[in-house]
Amino acid sequence: MDRDIYLIGLNHKTATVEVREKFALTDCKHLEPGVVPVEGCIKEAMVLSTCNRVEIIVVGEGDGVINHVIQCWADARGQRVDDLEPYVYKHKGLDAVQHLFTVASSLDSLVVGEPQILGQLKTAYHEAVDRNATRVILNRLLHKAFSVAKRVRTETGVASSAVSISYAAVELAKRIFGDMSEYSAMLIGAGEMAELAATHLLNNGIKKIYVANRTFERGQLLAEQFNGEAIAFSDLFTQLEKVDIIISSTGAHEAIIRAKDIRNVLKKRKNRPMFFIDIAVPRDIDPDVNGLDNVYLYDIDDLKEVVEENLAQRQEEAQKARAIVESETQTFSKWLRSLELQPTIVDLVNRSEAIVEEELIKCMKRLDGANGDTEKVLRCAMIAVAKKMNHEPISFLKRRHEEEEAGDRYIDITRRMFNLDNDSVHGLAHGHRRRKN
């Protein structure tokens, strides 16, 4: 059988953003019957398209699959194949499987470990399922990809630390304060990074956000966005008493907050800790603030350092993750091979013989004093029963295997029904299917 899994795609490493834009398939979801229709040599297909990558995964038969897919892809975008081909990577068989697992585990991402890709892959898969474009192999492959991604997340530290400045700041705040819901933050000045940090703080459940901006109106706009409160810039120091986290990013030429100002504030706060995040260049907050007890100050360079350490750590963890992907690819290939008829029949017969032997031992224990003859007779009888039980399923499988489409499906069902792969299946497996019905 020359049916195989193919993966054709491009990503941020093989193509520039212009090329990626030109060949993105994000807008082609409405296309019926899909970018790569399931017909002819294509048996199953799904498309993942994000701003950093396009991955087309198909199960196909014959030699022309790759060219056919690239043709479909170019057609969908109204472009020439020659413009697309140089940027495209083509994986077949286990290489394709491994690539998909790597992508799903976010090891191939621009920022290794970022979690969005898994969600995007899930969405893409569900679209393909809705379009009825997946069968046994892609279903199994994608579910496996999701579980590999989960394993990588829980067993390695690939996604465990912050790799953006604003997120690193929030992580630090959590290290100082713990549960955010009792604390408030203040933005001094507005800027993209400050807004991002504020968003992260809100997502972590911070109680309230105050905004102090030189132009009050601009501050008000920003405050509205975060459901917060704008305060006059001149009131800054009286308001500092109320807030625990201060994110400063003004365009001031020299420090606007110094230790001597904060000393009074601390007294009024009864020394409750304060965390200053200074992302302005030049800095807004005098470094001597960090010398005060219960006050922590991080400037942009400190945060950058944290991010770099975290990134280096992620790279290390990525090595571990690759080993997981490797071994899971092997597991999947074993299953793929078992989809053929003969191994399944052998497994089925072996399974029933194993059960016979197990039960025989129990029987002999109960039949105290029985001799070898009894054992022989018992074994014969039990094997005969097992054979008769297996006969119908096996001949059913043989009949179905001759029909084209159904063969894989029934073999897969048989394997699952008798649990020939010794999978552990938890109660909520395929929950999304159940909901739909």
Q: Which residues are catalytic?
A: 51
Write the DSSP symbol of residue 180: G
Query: Cα separation of 144 and 176, whole Å?
Result: 39
- Contact map string, positions 140 to 169, toward other proteins, x by CB under 8 A: --------------------xx--------
176 binds other proteins (CB under 8 A): yes
Query: Cα separation of 104 and 122, whole Å?
Result: 9
In this structure, the dihedral spanned by the alpha carbons of residues 22, 27, 28 and 29, taken in order and rounded to 10 degrees, is 150
Find the binder of other proteins among 84, 172, 188, 193 (CB under 8 A): 172
Q: Count, in order, helices (H) and strands (E) of the chain.
A: 16, 10
**Which of the stretches 132-140, 194-202, 251-259, 301-309 binds other proteins when contact is defined by CB under 8 A?**
301-309
Which residue number, 36 or 240, has a Cβ lying nearer to other proteins?
240
| Burial class of residue 4 (count of CB atoms within 10 Å of its CB; 0-12, 13-18, 19+) | middle
Up-side HSE of residue 48: CA atoms within 13 Å toward CB? 24
Which residue number, 224 or 308, has a Cβ lying nearer to other proteins?
308
191 binds other proteins (CB under 8 A): no
Please give the backbone phi and psi of residue 9, each rounded to the nearest 5 degrees, phi first. -170, 180
Which residue number, 270 or 337, has a Cβ lying nearer to other proteins?
270
Find the binder of other proteins among 73, 87, 101, 177 (CB under 8 A): 177
Q: Which of residues 235-274 bind other proteins (CB under 8 A)?
A: 267, 269-273
Is residue 344 a contact partner of residue 415, using CB atoms and an 8 Å limit?
yes
Find the binder of other proteins among 150, 175, 416, 433 (CB under 8 A): 175
- Nearest partner of 190 among 170, 211, 172, judged by Cα: 211
Which residue number, 220 or 290, has a Cβ lying nearer to other proteins?
290
Find the binder of other proteins among 26, 181, 294, 315 (CB under 8 A): 294
Is residue 76 a contact partner of residue 49, using CB atoms and an 8 Å limit?
no
Q: What is the DSSP pairing of strand 245-248 with strand 274-278? A: parallel
Which residue number, 27 or 309, has a Cβ lying nearer to other proteins?
309
**Which of the stretches 36-44, 45-53, 175-183, 209-217 binds other proteins when contact is defined by CB under 8 A?**
175-183
Find the binder of other proteins among 27, 130, 235, 309 (CB under 8 A): 309
Shortest Cβ 305–other proteins spacing (Å): 7
R_g (Cα) of the chain, nearest Å: 31
Please give the backbone phi and psi of residue 170, each rounded to the nearest 5 degrees, phi first. -70, -40
What angle, rounded to 10 degrees, do the helices at 406-417 and 136-155 form? Answer: 50
Residues composing the chain: 437
SS (H, E, C) 134-167: CCHHHHHHHHHHHHHHHHHHHHCCCCCCCCCHHH
174 binds other proteins (CB under 8 A): yes
Shortest Cβ 240–other proteins spacing (Å): 16
**Which of the stretches 5-13, 73-81, 295-303, 419-427 binds other proteins when contact is defined by CB under 8 A?**
295-303
Shortest Cβ 87–other proteins spacing (Å): 39
Which residue number, 130 or 182, has a Cβ lying nearer to other proteins?
182
Shortest Cβ 82–other proteins spacing (Å): 50
**Which of the stretches 25-33, 43-51, 92-100, 170-178 binds other proteins when contact is defined by CB under 8 A?**
170-178
Find the binder of other proteins among 6, 23, 87, 296 (CB under 8 A): 296
Shortest Cβ 209–other proteins spacing (Å): 19
408 binds other proteins (CB under 8 A): no
302 binds other proteins (CB under 8 A): yes
Query: Cα separation of 309 and 306, whole Å?
Result: 5
Which residue number, 33 or 178, has a Cβ lying nearer to other proteins?
178
Which residue number, 241 or 375, has a Cβ lying nearer to other proteins?
241
Query: Cα separation of 429 and 432, whole Å?
Result: 8
Up-side HSE of residue 231: CA atoms within 13 Å toward CB? 20
Contact footprint for other proteins (CB under 8 A): 160-161, 172, 174-179, 267, 269-273, 290, 293-294, 296, 298, 302, 305-306, 309
